[in-house]
Amino acid sequence: MINTTNQENNEKKPTKATGSASEYNKIKKVIAVMSGKGGVGKSFVTGLLATSLAREGYEVGVLDADITGPSMPTLFGLRGPVNSGQYGILPLTSKTGIKVISMNLLIEGEDNPLIWRGPLIAKAITQLWGDVMWGNLDYLLIDLPPGTSDAALTIMHLLPVDGIVMVTTPQSLATMIVNKAVNMAIRVGVPIIGVVENMAYYPCPDTGKRHMIFGESNGEKVAKAAHAPLLAQIPINPVLTQLCDFGEIEDIEFAETITLMEAFEKAMPIQGKTDEKVVSESVKENKWVFAGAIDDPKKPLIESDAIVNDHDKAFSDVARQLIRLKENMGCFEKPDACGKVTGWCGDTMEIQLMLDGDVIKEARFMTDGCGATIACGSMLTKMAHSKPLSEAMKISPDDLLTELISIPEDHEHCLSLAVSTLRAAVNQAMEKLSATNLKN
C-alpha cells in the first residue's frame, strides 16, 4: 500500500489501491486536478503547478491519469521507456526533478491513442498507483481524465486523494460544471481546495490591456460555488502553447505561477519540505518572464540572483545538484548485494551493488530521508563506482564530506548513515564472494 504519511497528525491515511512498490513510498499530499470538460488546460495547469512547487523546493510527482488526452511526458519533454526495479516501476524524472509517470510511457508507440473505456482506464491507473516507486514526495498531482466521468470518479474513489484543484475557463458553463464537480467531491468525500481559472484573459503585449477573449471572467463565481478559494487566473499566451509543445513547461515562469503556488501552499500546506528551498524573488516583480523562451530555450531558469534561505546555504552547489538530479537513486532488478540501515534520526537507506568479481560495477541507493541523505547516498554510490570492495569499505564519512564540499551541520549524521549502509552492502558482497570461493 502507498504510505501517505500525514505529517501534521502522524496518522496513516487508509489507502485502497495496493501494490508492492508502495512500502518505499512516502507521499504527504495527493491532489487531483479536475475539469468539467476537456481542452480547458487541466494538464497544463497540473504541469504548471508541479513546476512552481518544484521550483519552491518541494518534492513533486505527477501521475498522468488523463491517458486519452495530450500526455504529461510531452509537457516535460520526457520519453520512455520507463525502467522497473526490484520493487516497482521507476518514474521518469524531469530536468527540475519532477517525477512523472503516465500510461503513455508504458505503452508501445506513444502516438497510438488509447481506445479504452472508463472502467478499464480507472483499473489501469489504480494498478499503476500501487506499482510506482515514487519514494518521498511532498505532493503527488494526479491529472484526472476530463469531466466528471466514471473514470475520474473511480480513480478518486480508489486513490487516497487529499484535495481537488478545479480548472475552469471563462466560457465554461460555470454553474452546471461546478455543481457536478461539487457533487462528485461530496460523493468521494474529498474537498475542493481551490479553483484555477485558465485562459482568463489575453494581455495585449503592447498596451497590457486585458482582452476577455472567451467572455467575462467567472473565476470568482465558480470559486464561490465550490466553496473554495480562487487560486489563480491564468492569461492566454501563445508562447505557453509553444513551450508546452516543445516539452519546456519548466521554462515557464511568470507572476501568476507564483500566485498559484502561494495560494496552493496556503490551501494545502504540508509541514517540512523534503527538498531544499529555492525562491526566485526577481520573478515576483516581472510580469512575464519566459526564461529564454525565444532566443535560448536551454537557458537555466533560476539565475544567480536566486535567493536561497539561510539553512540551505550550507548545501554546496555539488550537494544541491545531487539532490535535484538524484543520480543513482533507484534499485536493480537483481542486485548482487544490499545493505539497509536505519539511522538514529529515523531515516533509512538501502544501497544495492552490482559486482564484477570483487569490483563494484554499479551502486544505487534508496532512502526515505531528507535532501541531505539523498546527496550523501548519491555521492557515495558515485564514489563506490569501479572500486574494489576492500577500497569501498575504507570510504569514511570525512571522505564523503570532502566530495560533497558542505551540507548543513545538523545533517552531518547523514554522512555516517550513508557510509554505514555502503559498508553493510560491501559486507554482504564479501560474505557472498567468500561463500562462492569456498564452494569452488
Which region among 84-92, 118-126, 239-247, 297-305 touches ligand ADP (by CB under 6 A)? 239-247
CB proximity list for 82: less than 8 A, separation 6 or greater? 89, 90, 91, 92, 101, 105, 106
Of 3, 6, 23, 38, the one binding ligand ADP (CB under 6 A) is: 38
- In the complex, what is the shortest distance from the CB of residue 223 to ligand ADP, in angstroms, rounded to a whole number? 18
Instruction: Decide if residue 203 touches ligand ADP (CB under 6 A).
Output: no
Q: Name which of 278, 306, 293, 366 is nearest 96 in CA terms.
A: 278
**Backbone phi and psi for residue 254, each to the nearest 5 degrees, phi listed first:** -150, 175
Of 31, 34, 40, 156, the one binding ligand ADP (CB under 6 A) is: 40
Q: What is the DSSP letter of 290?
A: E
Instruction: Decide if residue 198 touches ligand ADP (CB under 6 A).
Output: yes
Angle between helices 397-404 and 413-439 (to 10 degrees): 120
Instruction: Decide if residue 236 touches ligand ADP (CB under 6 A).
Output: yes
Which region among 131-139, 232-240, 303-311, 417-425 touches ligand ADP (by CB under 6 A)? 232-240
Instruction: Decide if residue 44 touches ligand ADP (CB under 6 A).
Output: yes
- In the complex, what is the shortest distance from the CB of residue 235 to ligand ADP, in angstroms, rounded to a whole number? 6
Grid look-up 473511480 returns: 154
Q: Name which of 129, 70, 135, 77 is nearest 104 in CA terms.
A: 70
Q: Work out whether strand 359-367 and strand 192-197 pair parallel, antiparallel, or are unpaired.
A: unpaired
Nearer to ligand ADP, 39 or 300 (CB): 39
Which region among 231-239, 318-326, 376-384, 393-401 touches ligand ADP (by CB under 6 A)? 231-239
Of 133, 161, 240, 417, the one binding ligand ADP (CB under 6 A) is: 240
The Cα–Cα gap between 198 and 44 comes to 9
Instruction: Decide if residue 83 touches ligand ADP (CB under 6 A).
Output: no
Distance of CA 334 to the CA centre of its chain: 26
Which parts of 52-81 interact with ligand ADP (CB under 6 A)? Answer: 66, 69-70
Q: How far is CA 418 from CA 175, 373, 395, in A?
A: 55, 7, 10
Nearer to ligand ADP, 226 or 414 (CB): 226
The Cα–Cα gap between 166 and 152 comes to 13
Nearer to ligand ADP, 65 or 429 (CB): 65
Q: Which value, to the nearest 10 degrees, does the dihedral of the CA atoms of residues 312, 316, 319, 325 take?
A: 80
Which region among 9-17, 42-50, 411-419, 424-432 touches ligand ADP (by CB under 6 A)? 42-50
Nearer to ligand ADP, 239 or 279 (CB): 239
Q: Name which of 82, 164, 184 is nearest 128 in CA terms.
A: 82
Nearer to ligand ADP, 146 or 397 (CB): 146
The Cα–Cα gap between 36 and 152 comes to 11
Nearer to ligand ADP, 237 or 373 (CB): 237
Q: Residues touching ligand ADP: how many (CB under 6 A)?
A: 20
Q: How far apart are the first and last CA of the chain?
A: 42
Nearer to ligand ADP, 39 or 269 (CB): 39
Reduced DSSP (H G I as helix, E B as strand, rest coil) percent helix, strand, coil of the chain, to 5: 40, 20, 40
Site map for ligand ADP, 129-168, x if CB under 6 A? -----------------x----------------------
**Backbone phi and psi for residue 431, each to the nearest 5 degrees, phi listed first:** -60, -45
- In the complex, what is the shortest distance from the CB of residue 56 to ligand ADP, in angstroms, rounded to a whole number? 21
Instruction: Decide if residue 231 touches ligand ADP (CB under 6 A).
Output: no
* Site residues, ligand ADP (CB under 6 A): 35, 38-44, 66, 69-70, 146, 198-199, 234, 236-237, 240-241, 244
